[in-house]
Structure 1
Amino acid sequence: MKARTRWDAVCTVDDLVPESGIAVWTEDGPVAVFYLPHRLPALFAISHSDPFSGANVLARGITGDLKGEPVVASPLYKQHFSLRTGACLEDDTVRVKTYPVLVDGHKIRLAIPERQHRAVAA
């Protein structure tokens, strides 16, 4: 059975800060949404959780560009994560989850996988 996805409104355009990220809460957990107006696409969304420390800090990382790849550097241990793929540039065995993101009027929406609820036999 294919997992279903829904587009949840997580913030508004006014909440975005150019060249940085904001943290939003979703049913899938905390997500970091980044707005890089000089790029196309300009919006990226990845897990807010740093896989090396377990702390929810990636939205507070420094954004940049490494060899044409949009990245965020974790504010704790400074690993760089691709904003397009979630891959860690320093350790190719580590990646963070990415989320499709779009602007819908004034709202920012993320594609969040719907949780599957199974019936429990009594």
Structure 2
Amino acid sequence: MTPRQRDTEEWHAVCRLDQLEVERGATALVHGQAVAIFKMPDETVYALGNHDPFAKASMIAKGIVGRRGDVPFVASPLHRHGFDLRTGKCLDDVHVSVPAYDVRVVDGVVQIGHRKADAA
């Protein structure tokens, strides 16, 4: 396997950046997992596991996006627990987190990689 083939297999193209609405979640299946994708006003894109551990349902993408100080977060739609969009860590319960994924945009295409090393 060449480095380019390996790189292509590690990143999954999910949509064009211009298809994402600002601060509105979208979902994609990446590495067999449902992933919630969020675009911020500055066009930074974040990806978290879509499963809400409190509601025990796939609904993180339907949450409300906001900021707590410098921390971009999504509030789960049912119980309103906040999850840091950068790390997946719950801002309201230090014992809970959701997976956070590496994200990049190449030629206007959003690509999702593997779970971040310190993610759930």
Calculate the TM-score normalised by the size of structure 1.
0.81
Q: 1:11 aligns with which of 12, 15, 27?
A: 15
- Segments of 5+ residues of structure 2 without an aligned counterpart are 1-6, 116-120
- Using the TM superposition, give the Cα deviation of residue 112 of structure 1 relative to its aligned residue in structure 2, in angstroms: 2.8
CA–CA distance in 1 between the matches of 2:23 and 2:14? Answer: 18
- Segments of 5+ residues of structure 1 without an aligned counterpart are 114-122
Count of residue pairs the alignment pairs up: 108
> RMSD between aligned alpha carbons?
1.8
Q: Which residue of 2 aligns with 1:23?
A: 27
Q: Which residue of 2 aligns with 1:103?
A: 105
Runs of 4+ deviating beyond 4 Å: none
CA–CA distance in 2 between the matches of 1:68 and 1:106? Answer: 26
1:87 is aligned to 2:89: yes
Q: Which residue of 2 aligns with 1:48?
A: 50
Q: Which residue of 2 aligns with 1:68?
A: 70
Q: Which has the higher contact order (CA 8 A, sep 6+)?
A: 1
User: Is the Cα–Cα contact under 8 Å of residues 47 and 97 in structure 1 kept in the other structure?
Assistant: yes
- Using the TM superposition, give the Cα deviation of residue 94 of structure 1 relative to its aligned residue in structure 2, in angstroms: 0.1
Cα deviations by residue, 1:53-84 (Å, 9 ceiling, x for unpaired): 22111111000000210000000110000001
Question: Percent identity at matched positions?
Answer: 37
Q: Which has the larger radius of gyration?
A: 1
After TM superposition, the structure 1 = structure 2 runs for residues 102-121 of structure 1, keeping only pairs within 5 Å, are 102-112=104-114
- Using the TM superposition, give the Cα deviation of residue 44 of structure 1 relative to its aligned residue in structure 2, in angstroms: 0.6
CA–CA distance in 2 between the matches of 1:105 and 1:38? Answer: 17
Letter in structure 2 aligned against 1:6:
E
- Using the TM superposition, give the Cα deviation of residue 19 of structure 1 relative to its aligned residue in structure 2, in angstroms: 1.6
**Secondary structure at the residue paired with 1:99?**
strand
User: Is the Cα–Cα contact under 8 Å of residues 8 and 112 in structure 1 kept in the other structure?
Assistant: no
Calculate the TM-score normalised by the size of structure 2.
0.83
Letter in structure 1 aligned against 2:13:
A
Q: Which residue of 1 aligns with 2:118?
A: none
